[in-house]
Structure 1
Amino acid sequence: MKKIFYLFLLPTAMVIASCSKDKKITPNNNEPTKTGSKLDLIKDSVYLYAQQTYYWNTSLPTYANFKPRGFSGSNDLDALQTEIDALSQYSSNPDNGGKPYEYYAPAPGYAKYSFIDDGSVSDELNGIKGDFGFAPVWVDDDDIRVKYVYPGSPADVNGLKRGYQIVGINNRTGTGLTYDNGANVNFLVNAYSNSTSIKLTLKKPDNTTFDVTMSTATYTVNPVLTAKVIDAGGGKKVGYIVFNSFTSDANAKPKLDAAFNTFNAQGITDLVVDLRYNGGGYVSTAEYLSNLIAPASANNSTMFTYNFNKTMTEGKATILKNQVRKDGSQTYSYFDFDYTAAGNTIPFDKTGLPNLNLSHVFFIVTGSTASASELTINNLIPKMDVKIIGTTSYGKPVGFFDIDINKYQMYMPQFETKNSAGKGGYYAGMKPGSADYPGKLASDDVTKDFGDPTEELFAYAINYAKTGTFAISGPRVQSTNSLKTFSVEKSREVGIQVEGKKVFRGMIYNNTKAK
Structure 2
Amino acid sequence: MKKTFYLTIILITCLSASCKKDTKSNNEIAPSKNGSTLDLVKDSVFLYAKEAYYWYDGLPSYAAFNPRAISGSDDLSALTKEVDAISQYKINPSTGKPYEYYSAAPGEAKYSFIDQGQVSTALGGTNADFGFAPLFNDVNDLRVKYVYPGSPADLAGVKRGYKITSINGNSNLSYDGSSGTHTQFVINAYAYSTAITMILQKADLSTFSVTLSAANYTINPVLTYKTFNVATGKTVGYIVFNSFTSGDNADAKLDAAFNYFATQGITDLVVDLRYNGGGLVSTAEYLDNLIVPAAKSGTIMYSSYFNDILSSGKASLLKNQVRRDPTNNQLYNYAQFDYTVAGNAINFAKKGTLNISRVFFIVTGATASASELTINNLRPHLNVQLIGTTTYGKPVAFFDIDINKYQLYIPELETKNSLAQGGYYSGMTPGSTTYPGVNDYDDVTKDFGDPTEGLLAHALNYVKTGLYSTTGPQIQGLSTKLKTFSIEESNAAAIKLVEHKFNGMVFDKKLKLKK
TM-score calculated relative to the size of structure 2: 0.95
Q: In the alignment, residue 448 of structure 1 is paired with which amino acid?
A: K
In structure 2, runs of 5+ residues without a counterpart are: none
User: 1:330 is matched by which residue type in structure 2?
Assistant: Q
* Match runs of 1:59-208 below 5 Å: 59-97=58-96, 99-173=97-171, 176-181=172-177, 182-208=180-206
Moved over 6 A (4+): none
Please state whether the residue corresponding to 1:33 is helix, strand or coil.
coil
SS of match in other structure, 1:501:
coil
Taking the aligned partners of 2:494 and 2:475, their CA distance within structure 1 comes to 24
Q: Is 2:480 aligned against 1:478?
A: no
Amino acid at match of 2:347: P
CA displacement, residues 316-368 of structure 1 (integer Å, 9 cap, x when unaligned): 11110000123453111111211111110000001xx2232224200000011
1:22/1:198 Cα in 2 relative to 1: closer, same or farther (>3 Å)? closer
Amino acid at match of 2:79: L
Please name the residue that 2:6 is paired with: 4
Whether the 8 Å contact between 1:388 and 1:432 is mirrored in structure 2 is: yes
Matches within 5 A, 1:248-397: 248-327=246-325, 329-350=329-350, 353-397=351-395
More moved, 34-43 vs 24-33: 24-33
In the TM superposition, what whole-angstrom CA distance separates every residue of 1:1-20 from its partner, at most 9, and x where no partner exists?
Answer: 44333x3xx46222356358
Report the CA distance between 1:467 and its aligned residue. Answer: 1.3
Write the letter of the residue equivalent to 1:340.
T
Which residue of structure 2 lines up, in the alignment, with residue 57 of structure 1? 56
- Contact map agreement 2:191 2:500 (CA 8 A) in 1: no
Structure 1 residue 464: Cα displacement: 0.8
Shift of 1:183: 3.1
Contact kept? 2:125, 2:218, Cα under 8 Å: yes
- Counterpart CA distance in 2 for 1:171 and 1:312 is 53
Change (3 A) 1:433 1:478: same
| Partner SS, residue 14 of structure 2 | coil
Query: Are residue 45 (structure 1) and residue 47 (structure 2) matched?
Result: no
Offset from partner CA, 1:30-61 (integer Å, 9 cap, x none)? 43122011000000000000000000111111
Give the partner amino acid of 2:176.
D
What is the deviation of 1:497?
Answer: 4.1
- C-alpha deviation, 1:498, in angstroms: 3.4
Give 1:220's aligned residue: 218
- Separation (CA, whole Å) in 1 of partners of 2:183 and 2:371: 28
When the two structures are aligned, how many residues end up with a matched partner?
506
Q: What root-mean-square deviation, in Å, do the aligned CA atoms of Structure 1 and Structure 2 show?
A: 1.7
How far apart in 2 are the matches of 1:400 and 1:234? 46
1:37 alignment partner AA: S
Partner letter of residue 234 of structure 1? T
Query: Does the 8 Å contact 1:20/1:44 carry over to 2?
Result: no
- Partners of 1:437 and 1:183 lie apart in 2 by 36
- The 8 Å contact of residues 126 and 219 in structure 2, kept in 1 or not, is answered as yes
1:186 aligned counterpart, secondary structure: helix
Range with bigger deviation, 200-209 or 449-458 = 200-209
| SS at 1:404 equivalent | strand
Aligned-pair CA distance for 1:512: 3.1
Pick closer, same or farther for the CA change 1:234–1:479 going to 2, 3 Å.
farther
Letter in 1 for 2:69: G
Q: Is the aligned partner of 1:421 residue 2:419? A: yes
- Please report how far the alpha carbon of residue 270 of structure 1 lies from its aligned counterpart in structure 2 after TM superposition: 0.4
Alpha-carbon distance change, 122 to 511 in structure 1, aligned in 2, over 3 angstroms: same
Partners of 1:119 and 1:492 in 2: CA distance: 29
Q: Residue 406 of structure 2 is aligned with which of 392, 405, 408? A: 408
User: Does the Cα contact within 8 Å between 1:71 and 1:82 map onto a contact in 2?
Assistant: yes
Deviations 1:97-135 (A, max 9, x none): 2x1111122211111100001111111111100100000
SS of 1:502's partner is: coil
- Do the aligned partners of residues 186 and 426 (structure 1) sit closer, same or farther apart at CA in structure 2, a change above 3 Å counting? closer
Tell me the CA shift for residue 427 of structure 1: 0.7
The verdict on how the C-alpha distance between 1:298 and 1:397 changes in structure 2, with shifts beyond 3 A counting, is: same
Q: Which moved more, 1:42-51 or 1:104-113?
A: 104-113
- What CA distance in whole angstroms lies between the structure 2 residues aligned with 1:81 and 1:26? 22
Letter in 2 for 1:347: N
CA drift at 1:21: 5.8
Change (3 A) 1:498 1:429: closer
Question: How far apart, CA to CA, are the structure 1 residues paired with 2:453 and 2:249?
Answer: 28
How far apart, CA to CA, are the structure 2 residues paired with 1:177 and 1:348? 47
The residue correspondences of 1:457-496 to structure 2 (distance < 5 A) are: 457-472=455-470, 474-478=471-475, 480-484=477-481, 485-496=484-495
Which residue of 1 is the match for residue 32 of structure 2? 33
